[in-house]
Structure 1
Amino acid sequence: MPDVDAASEPAGRPYRTEVPLRWSDMDAYGHVNNVQYLRLLEDARVIGFREWFGEERSLLDTGVIVSRHEIEYVAPLTYRPQPIEVDMWVTSVHGAGFNLGYAVRDPESLGERVYAVAETGLVLYDFTTARPRRLTDDDRAVLAVHAGDQVAFRWSRR
């Protein structure tokens, strides 16, 4: 598969965090299983949201649910003990939610090889009323700091 070019990255420097791989992430072919990528993205979100929003008002504590995922696998990721890096940025914001873009990278390869690009739709949710809730101005301000371009999936560049 071809490497993802610079068009896959947001305009500014995205938020970047390390995420460890687990031995159980590996499939019979020695690659990280495609389903495990969702866990890697979730781990990056948990780490990122605590840093973005702070421990006191994390979206994870007030309620946020996943509405969709889209992942494009670019290259096979084989298990290794070193963590991978996940770049994460906001691609759009709407009334009750927002979308996050990601690039799953190998920080140790020349040119930081990209293994996958992805996007997740998230909706703020009030579990007491079982209804979505609107973003606050404070939420929007935090998300604006991390805004970037749309994820450049290969199918979208045709």
Structure 2
Amino acid sequence: MARFTYHCALRWSDMDAFGHVNNARFLTLYEEARVELMFKGAREAGLTSLEAGVVISRHEVDYLRPVDYGRPVRIDMWLEEIRPSRFVVAYELFDDDVVASRARSVCVPFDLSAGRPRRLSEAERAYLTPWLERP
């Protein structure tokens, strides 16, 4: 199984009143990692169609411990499932090499001009498959 790793700097605005990363900001950090994989990584592989539209139909987040403002965090990502019209991205966010959060996002390829979901292309499936974790 291959995992995509993204190192993400924390911003002052990520903090809450208690000096921890705000729970809502975890989704922003996960989004940054997902964009790195689906847009930048895909573009480097010659694929730009994922940039044309992918929407989130579901997020699940487990907060395991607070993350203090400071050093960058590491996010490991992989795919749990690839279906014809959706895929599931799983994440682990590490703070100081300790898992601080786990999450999942159900991603749906979307035709923005038509305003409706679409199926993954063969090229998209081929790009995403190396990140698939098989049980």
**TM-score surpassing 0.5?**
yes
Relative distance call for 1:124 and 1:16 in structure 2 (3 A) is same
1:87 and 2:76 equivalent? Answer: yes
Cα offsets for 1:52-97 (capped at 9, x unmatched)? 31255335521100111000001110101x2111001001011211
Q: Which residue of 1 aligns with 2:66?
A: 76
Q: Which residue of 2 aligns with 1:8?
A: none
Report the CA distance between 1:50 and its aligned residue.
3.0
Report the CA distance between 1:47 and its aligned residue.
1.1
SS of the residue corresponding to residue 18 of structure 2 reads: coil
**Which residue of 107, 113, 122 corresponds with 2:98?**
113
Q: Which residue of 2 aligns with 1:53?
A: 42
RMSD between superposed Cα atoms in Å: 1.6
Q: Which residue of 2 aligns with 1:154?
A: none
Distance 2:91 2:134 in 1: 11
SS of the residue corresponding to residue 47 of structure 2 reads: coil
Q: Which residue of 2 aligns with 1:7?
A: none
SS of the residue corresponding to residue 35 of structure 1 reads: helix
Q: Which residue of 2 aligns with 1:97?
A: 86
SS of the residue corresponding to residue 54 of structure 1 reads: helix
Cα offsets for 1:102-154 (capped at 9, x unmatched)? 00012xx3xx101100000100000111111100111111111001157xxxx
Distance 1:18 1:100 in 2: 17
Contact 2:78 2:89 in 1 (8 A): yes
List structure 1 runs of 4+ shifted beyond 4 angstroms.
Answer: none
Which structure shows the bigger proportion of residues in strand conformation? 2
How many residue pairs get matched? Answer: 134
Relative distance call for 1:88 and 1:133 in structure 2 (3 A) is same
State percent identity of aligned pairs. 37
Q: Which residue of 2 aligns with 1:153?
A: none
Distance 2:18 2:39 in 1: 34
Contact 1:21 1:83 in 2 (8 A): yes
Distance 1:66 1:134 in 2: 14
Is there any run of 5+ residues in structure 2 with no aligned partner, and where? none
TM-score by length of 1: 0.79
Q: Which residue of 2 aligns with 1:28?
A: 17
Report the CA distance between 1:48 and its aligned residue.
1.5
Is there any run of 5+ residues in structure 1 with no aligned partner, and where? 1-11, 151-158
